Chains A and B, each alone.
Chain A
């Protein structure tokens, strides 16, 4: 295993938007209508820079072999690259030890891993798991399944009309019976940044663990698990420049040690006889079967790319774009923006509606102008229910987006309103 201290340092680069955009060739393409692409669906998945694409190719071209077991050169190299990627991810989120990084497929699998390997082992009927009303379905459904199977109690911290959490209610909803608070750091539907310090302080006061759904925070802002004082962090590579199919669960080492395996199979055992098996140490215990080595290595490259930009700078850039977009979209007649109107308390996600036009139709007309947004319930149906809308239109930003692209969105919405005859 590569220690974090042995990793090569990553040189900081100035935040040069023109240079960044050149790293993403897809941003130069046109859509079906011939219009120039304006990609504003980053909360669904980011684009990938040439550096990450090159890393995927390099791995398969020069180093490809299965990891861990063989003594031949390629296998040794592939194992080193895989473990180096683990250390890069650990350094990126401030983990103390690379063994605390479990590679999964995505955030959903990471949360399910905790539900299976921790909650099924340690929770008893009557124990409480607390989530919030603004969670993605991936942080609701696993706990509903556990509730139905094990008789635990599932509770929700409610959303206030402005899209923030009711932190006063949270104080009484999290009780002495609460064993886990599983909470998003940032809403994928509304962009709300959750004050994790408040939630974590209450959880710690009652002795509950905290799992953070970092799918929308780790790609977009500095995250330091030790400073946060939480116990688990789940996130996906594909929202932070890495390929699909590689995700991460970070957990505190003693906790991971105490847990049972998630899946059984190769690589996760110490010994196997016909009668019984003993488990490998963390992290192998949770990585049954041949892992997604190539994409883990590419995640390492993605993390290096973001580190070179600096996550503080990434956040600064997105805050500026979001602040501009909040003001620009508010000027479009008929547009209602959901969520907090303050870019300091929201990430680069803006959910909105245009009076008299269904989100689907908004998305379709914008597409002919090259503007890619998402429409629908964003896998957060409780949020839609609370807003009393069937669906919203959502624009979401990343490192390469510009104010000119926000202008393209705004003028596109003006065109949508004209097209559908909105007064």
Chain B
């Protein structure tokens, strides 16, 4: 299409790949903590289940429905988090949020696919879509799990 540059900035091939073939979606795991995330204004929903053993994320699953950005980002998040300690995973959440804020991909291990979401930062309306899975992971790892929303008026 004529305006492909802008669009392909947002929808990199790797993003569409995660959208079409999500990783760790509806995986059968025995979670020790979970959280639900919602984006009420657009109807995106994500649930993150985590099996945390001795501080390490042994298994992780996400489920829900939403746009390609929210679902692909959640898929990438699970790949990143799996096998890491909770502290490392939370560091990743922070790095992701920073990337959405600055539009600059961080040069850290494990962010190769995730860096493809950097283009989302240019689309203010979509930042909350991309952030949903990550915020929900942080919520799951926080004591007690619970519910997060990305429509908190911060964007």
Say yes or no: is A376 at the interface (Cβ < 8 Å to chain B). Answer: yes
The one of B10, B41, B68 that contacts A420, using a Cβ cutoff of 8 Å: B68
- Answer yes or no: A313 CB below 8 A from chain B CBs: no
- Interface of chain B residues 1 through 45 with chain A (CB within 8 A): 1-3, 6-7, 10-11, 16, 20, 41-45
Binary interface profile of A, 29-57, with partner B (CB < 8 Å = 1, else 0)?
00011110000000000000000000000
Given A376-B41, A390-B43, A421-B20, verify A358-B3 contact (CB < 8 Å): no
Q: What's the Cα separation between A35 and B6 when bound, in Å?
A: 11
Complex interface bits, B41-54 against A, C-beta within 8 A gives 1, otherwise 0:
11111000000000
Q: Evaluate whether A369 and B3 lie within 8 angstroms (CB atoms) in the complex, with A376-B41, A384-B43 already known.
A: yes
- Dominant SS at the B interface? mixed
* Shortest distance between the CB of B61 and any CB in chain A (Å): 20
Q: Are B1 and A364 in contact (CB under 8 A)?
A: no
A177 within 8 A of B: no
B65→A360 contact, CB < 8 A: no
Which of A360, A375, A376, A421 has the most B CB atoms < 10 Å from its CB?
Answer: A360
Asked if B84 CB lies within 8 Å of chain A CBs, one says no
B42 touches A364 (CB 8 A): no
Contacts of B67 in A (CB 8 A): 358-361
Check: A415 CB closer than 8 A to any chain B CB.
yes
Which residue of B3, B20, B126 is within 8 Å of A360 (Cβ)?
Answer: B126
How many Å from the CB of B42 to the closest CB on chain A? 5
Q: Is B69 an interface residue (CB 8 A)?
A: yes
A34: chain B residues at CB < 8 Å are 3
B-contact 0/1 string along A360-389, CB 8 Å cutoff: 110011001100000111000000100000
Within 8 A of A (CB), among B107-155: 123, 126, 129
Contact A364 B3, CB 8 Å, known A358-B67, A390-B45, A420-B68: no
A292–B11 Cα gap in the complex (Å)?
Answer: 44
Name the A residues within 8 Å of B106 (CB-CB): none
Q: A32 touching B6 by the CB < 8 A rule?
A: yes
B: number of interface residues (CB 8 Å): 22
B65/A390 in contact, CB under 8 A: yes
List chain B residues, Cβ under 8 A from A357.
Answer: 68
Q: Is the CB of A358 within 8 A of B41?
A: no
Given the known A-B contacts A364-B10, A364-B126, A420-B16, are A376 and B43 also in contact in the complex, defined by CB atoms under 8 Å? yes
When distances are taken between beta carbons in the complex, the residues of chain B under 8 Å from A35 are 2-3
Q: Are A368 and B69 in contact (CB under 8 A)?
A: no
Q: 1/0 per position for A402-423, CB-CB distance to B under 8 A?
A: 0000000000000100011100
Query: Least Cβ distance of B134 to chain A in Å?
Result: 18
7 closest A-B pairs (Cβ-Cβ)?
Answer: A390-B43, A360-B67, A358-B67, A33-B3, A391-B43, A368-B3, A368-B7
Chain B residues close to A by CB (< 8 Å): 1-3, 6-7, 10-11, 16, 20, 41-45, 65-69, 123, 126, 129
**Interface CB pairs A-B, < 8 A, 13:** A33-B6, A34-B3, A357-B68, A358-B68, A360-B66, A360-B69, A361-B67, A364-B7, A375-B42, A377-B41, A390-B44, A420-B68, A421-B16
